[in-house]
Amino acid sequence: MIFDFLGEKKKAVIAMAHIGALPGSPDYDADGGLDKLVVSVLNDVAKLQAGGVDAVMFGNENDRPYVLKAPPEGLAAMTALVERVKPHLKIPFGVNFLWDPEASVAIGAVTGASFVREIFTGVFASDMGLWQPDCAKAARLRHALGRDDMKMLFNINAEFSYALDQRPIELRAQSAVFSSKADAILISGPLTGQAVNQSDLRRVSETVKDVPVFANTGVNKDNVADILAIASGVVVGTHFKVDGDTWNPVDAERVKRFMALVEKLR
């Protein structure tokens, strides 16, 4: 069992529900407003649930260029959107406000999310500048909001960045579990939609025994068998989209084909 909220599943598929650009972002559609964002997400969620994914994760991938601190208007809008979509969910959900650990925890806590994902530890040179997340503040916020049950999924090798901490990745993972109480470790590729280094994934999985290890990017029908032979689960966004393009809507048939394969593997 990976997490209580996933029941007896031994290998999990968390699907991304990408939100359109939020208020404050350059690509935000002020004419369509929050209603348009909700309709788009509901359409994607319906296809993901029908396809059989185990959980969905709301993310603001369209808020480019990304920020390291959530603006109030974006924080408020994402919270409101999740609350409006919740009644339509039949499976567990999580949230991730890129790239702000405290915002992710805050949204997740008040909306009743089962988990949150973020960069909680490390120091990175990134497209957004010097990146120094504060795990202690995020963990203390979770506790202050009465949500110790909400799992914190640690993405330890952030996309769009270079880790200034040059310890081997398996040691960084082990350290995150020991010193920062990570509930799961996620391993990413260099960019959204790009595959993880399976050697990294294997070394982390062989070193970290107490928490699940997930492949966080670039999982598709061609590599999922190899990845699930190593990892506890996968996070899938790009592969579920029309033509495998991150910015397109979810393709229902892609989801069904992928999950049919996964069911044979677990």
In a domain, 1, yes or no: no
The whole-chain average pLDDT of the chain stands at 97
CA 64: distance to chain centroid? 17
In a domain, 78, yes or no: yes
Q: How many domains does one find in the chain?
A: 1
In a domain, 2, yes or no: no
pLDDT at residue 27 is higher than 70:
yes
pTM of this prediction exceeds 0.95: yes
Q: What is the mean pLDDT of residues 240-264?
A: 98
pLDDT at residue 1 is higher than 70:
no
Each residue's pLDDT tens digit, 176-221: 999 999 999 999 998 888 899 999 999 999 999 999 999 999 999 9
Q: Calculate the alpha carbon distances from 248 to 1, 153, 182, 184 in Å.
A: 33, 25, 32, 28
CATH number of the domain bearing residue 17: 3.20.20.70
In a domain, 207, yes or no: yes
> Sign of torsion, CA 136 153 93 60?
positive
pLDDT at residue 223 is higher than 80:
yes
What pLDDT does residue 175 have?
Answer: 98
In a domain, 159, yes or no: yes
In a domain, 252, yes or no: yes
> Sign of torsion, CA 109 110 116 120?
negative
CA 23: distance to chain centroid? 21
In a domain, 221, yes or no: yes
Each residue's pLDDT tens digit, 59-108: 999 999 999 999 999 999 999 999 999 999 999 999 999 999 999 999 99
Tell me the residue range of the domain where 151 lies: 9-265
What pLDDT does residue 10 have?
Answer: 86
Cα–Cα distance for residue pair 39/37, rounded to 1 Å: 6
In a domain, 197, yes or no: yes
Cβ atoms of residues 17 and 41 within 8 Å = yes
